Amino acid sequence: MTENALDTAGRQADAAGAPAASAATSSTDGSSTVAAPPPGVGGRPPRPTLGRRALILADSLWRPALVLAAFFAAWWFVAAREYVPNYLVPTPGQVWATMTDQWSELARHTMVTLYETVLGFVLAAALGLAAAVAIAYSRTLDKALYPIVLFAQVIPKIAIAPLLVVWFGLGLTPKIILAVLIAFFPVVISGVAGLRSTDPELLDLAATMGAGPWRTFRKIRFPNALPHLMAGLKVAVTLAVVGAVVGEFVGASEGLGYVLLLANGNLDSALLFADLILMSAIGIVLFVLVEIAEALLIPWHASRRAGVPLTTS
Amino acid sequence: MTTAPARAGTAIGMSRLTVRFSSRRSQTTALDDVSLDIEPGEFVTIVGPSGCGKSTLLKIVAGLVQPTSGEVSLLDRPVRGPQKEIGFVFQKAALLEWRGARANILLQAEMRGMDRAQAARRADELIEMTGLTGFEKALPHELSGGMQQRVALCRALLHSPPVLLMDEPFGALDALTREQMNAELHRIWRETGTTVVLVTHSIAEAVFLGTRVVVMSARPGRIIRTFPVELPAHRDYAQVMSDSRFDRLATDLRGLLGSAAANH
């Protein structure tokens, strides 16, 4: 289930991450009318118009859409012909029917899981960044915190889920804590890597500019760490979904994980599939949001540009 | 053009500087008993073989490295900790890759908390002076090496520092761009009257730019000799290159550096 979510999210990422590149190639493969935006002279290339942007988007989406369509066709074929009995694999139509019939219930459970995931992710991002700053700035804290962070990571979080339920009851708290615990590690690791990757000459320079540590952090170290950090946040957001759902497995009265267990117990495979689709949707939507945030925050980074030097002199 | 205030006394004073780096296994002496006084308005170039501690010397003046023993003063005040009265240019441009050229230059102002309007005016002046007009918004990756180094130079000059320290600033540039940058730097020095200390591997660069050339030996770094450059204060690149005085000094330097290298 979770692998499915990650997989789909990854494919989505490729699609969303490469609009510029595919726009550039589309003019060469001749299969599309989208032309690469004219290279800007003396500045950034002009912003594409809305229509052109839609075309670029369509151009980047048709490949994954095709794969998805093929997958659905195969699924439908296998299920409708009952090569596999319907109580094991329902048809897409049955899943759709279940989804629409029980929409209000499913929407409520989706909102619960979404809430846990987002809150867990935001907390993990904040705590992870704080820990990363502490580790990157202080040798003492580095020695004190890093082993603990690592230890917390190697404990199988799923194994401590029952303990969290015992401690915090059946409410939202244990799910959020689990989401935080799972999503925390990639944020810390990427944050530390990013903060440590600052060019030492830039730090020397900041010292000769008489800037204090806060200004140096705000103007140099933090923006410099953002590309690493965003990569960690992308991993973290997909893991936060896993944390929330696992928390719901162990003890809950609402949420998609709870519905999944219920559907499993009733051999209601249509509901189970509908539930899986909603879980994946949460992962994908959140991942895309982080992608968008990344595109807005670090448009300058090498991973996000198809840049050509402006001058040769 | 803003001119650094004329000061009595020395711009930079170094007396009996020694620097030892000790690692677990060995101890290396990077600088050995280096003394050098630099007057305000001078352009001192330092040449020497690789690893002779030239860069360390600049970092000591900037207060970024503590000498093992000896005294440094900047503008007649002892150097303890990083100095603010300087502009520093590295071999790499060391620009913030998320900022355009102008914003990179203005980093200096933001870090120092300078007056915004005044800094912006000064930035525009420098952009014009170094021929960056039209590239104000270009990100570093969109600029060539020479352009990037111009931005770094503007950034180092933004606050009109009385002392400019340059650590092989044009080392990574191609020969043509380098000559062009040398000519520009000479003009900027003439216009601003800033005291400049420039570390270089290039004998031609050292002689063309310097009012004094300091030659250092290979590790441990010592000052072997100091040559005054007997060329007019106002220099034209092509003229200087064909000047007999230039030739003689360059030959002397080459001989000295050759023998310095041969001894080790």
Is residue B161's pLDDT more than 60? yes
Per-residue pLDDT at B260: 57
Q: What pLDDT shows up at residue A303?
A: 64
Q: Which of B92, B111, B142 sits opposite A309 (nearest CB)?
A: B142
- CB nearest to A210's CB, from B84, B97, B137: B84
Lowest mean pLDDT of A271-280, B2-11, B37-46, name the range.
B2-11
Chain B: residue nearest A205 by CA?
Answer: B88
Tell me if A183 is assigned to some domain: yes
Asked if A310 lies within 8 A of B142 by C-beta distance, the reply is yes
Q: Is the pLDDT at B196 greater than 80, yes or no? A: yes
Q: Which residues 166-185 in chain B show a CB within 8 A of chain A?
A: 177
Mean pLDDT across B230-258: 79
Smallest CA–CA separation between B248 and chain A, in Å? Answer: 32
Task: Say what the pLDDT of residue B8 is.
Answer: 56
Confidence at residue A111, expressed as pLDDT on a 0 to 100 scale: 93
The verdict on residue A300 lying in a domain is: yes
pLDDT number for residue A46: 56
Residues B136 and B151 in one domain: yes
pLDDT in tens, A202-215: 888 888 888 888 88
Mean pLDDT of B134-151: 87
Pick the more confident residue, A272 or B257.
A272
Domain assignment present for A81: no
| Nearest one of B37, B35, B57 to B47, comparing CA atoms | B57
- Mean per-residue pLDDT, B19-27: 79
Count of structural domains, chain A: 1
Asked, for residue B4, whether it belongs to a domain, the answer is: no
**pLDDT tens sequence across B84-109:** 888 899 888 888 888 888 899 999 88
Domain boundary, last residue among B146, B161, B176: B161
Same domain, B215 and B111: no
Inside any domain, residue A254: yes
- pLDDT-wise least confident of A82-96, B8-22, B114-128, B169-183: B8-22
Task: Flag if A311 and B143 touch (Cβ within 8 Å).
Answer: yes
For residue A119, tell me if it sits in a domain: yes
> Considering the domain boundaries, does residue A178 fall inside one?
yes
Better-scored residue on pLDDT, B202 or A281: A281
pLDDT above 60 for B131 = yes
Element (DSSP H or E) covering residue B215: strand B212-216
ipTM over 0.85: no
Q: What pLDDT does A306 receive? A: 52
B-interface mutation test, from A202, A208, A310, most B Cβ less than 10 A away: A208
CB-based contact A210 B111, cutoff 8 Å: yes
In a domain, B9, yes or no: no
Q: Are B120 and B69 part of one and the same domain? A: no
> B 85-114 residues with CB below 8 A of A?
86-88, 90, 92, 94, 96-98, 107-108, 110-112
Cβ-Cβ contacts under 8 Å for A101 (sequence gap 6 or more): none
Closest CA to B223 of B11, B41, B45: B45
pLDDT range class, residue A11, cuts 50, 70, 90: very low
Instruction: Give a yes or no: residue B7 inside a domain.
Output: no
Q: Is the pLDDT of residue A246 over 80?
A: yes
Choose the final residue of a domain: B110, B133, B161. B161
Chain A contact present for B144, CB below 8 A: yes
Residues B181 and B242 in one domain: yes
- Kindly list the residues from chain B whose CB atom is less than 8 angstroms away from the CB atom of residue A42: 134-135, 138
- Comparing alpha-carbon positions, the chain A residue that sits nearest to B178 is A313
User: Domain containing A164: what range?
Assistant: 91-304
Contacts of A312 in chain B (CB under 8 A): 144
**Residue B215 and residue B157 in one domain:** no
Q: Tell me, what's the pLDDT at B183?
A: 87
Per residue, what are the HEC states of B226-263? EEECCCCCCCCHHHHHCCHHHHHHHHHHHHHHHHHHHC
| One domain for residues B264 and B200 | yes
Whether the per-residue pLDDT at A127 is higher than 90: the answer is: yes
pLDDT band at A125 (very low <50, low <70, confident <90, very high): very high
Does some domain include residue B3? no
Q: Are B205 and B155 members of one domain?
A: no
- Residue A39 to residue B91: CA distance in whole angstroms: 30
Q: Are residues B152 and B173 in the same domain?
A: no
Give the number of domains in chain B.
Answer: 2
Instruction: Tell if the CB–CB gap between B97 and A301 is shorter than 8 Å.
Output: yes
> Would you place residue B1 in the very low, low, confident or very high pLDDT band (cuts 50, 70, 90)?
very low
Report whether pLDDT(A35) > 50: no
Looking at B119, B142, B161, the residue that finishes a domain is B161
* Cβ neighbours of residue A245 closer than 8 Å, sequence gap 6 or more: A1, A2, A113, A255, A256, A257, A260, A279
Neighbours of A104 (CB within 10 A): 7
- pLDDT > 90: percent of chain B: 5
Q: Looking at the partner chain, which of B110, B138, B146 has a beta carbon nearest the beta carbon of A219?
A: B110
| Predicted pLDDT at B261 | 53
Report whether pLDDT(A152) > 70.
yes
- Kindly state whether residues B245 and B178 are assigned to the same domain: yes
- Report how many Cβ contacts below 8 Å link chain A to chain B: 87
Are residues B79 and B107 both part of a single domain?
Answer: no
Query: Are residues B42 and B155 both part of a single domain?
Result: no
- Residue B11 forms part of a structural domain: no
Domain of B169 in residue numbering reads as 18-85+162-264
> B142 and B241: one domain?
no
- H-assigned helices in chain B: 54-62, 101-112, 116-129, 145-157, 175-192, 203-209, 237-241, 244-262
**pLDDT of A166 above 70:** yes
CATH code of residue A173:
1.10.3720.10
Q: Is the pLDDT of residue B2 over 50?
A: no
pLDDT at B211: 87
Given pLDDT bands bounded at 50, 70 and 90, which one contains residue A24?
very low
Reported confidence tier of residue A148, pLDDT bands at 50, 70, 90: confident
Residue A264 lies in a domain: yes
Q: Which of A110-119, B106-115, B222-231 has the highest mean pLDDT?
A: A110-119
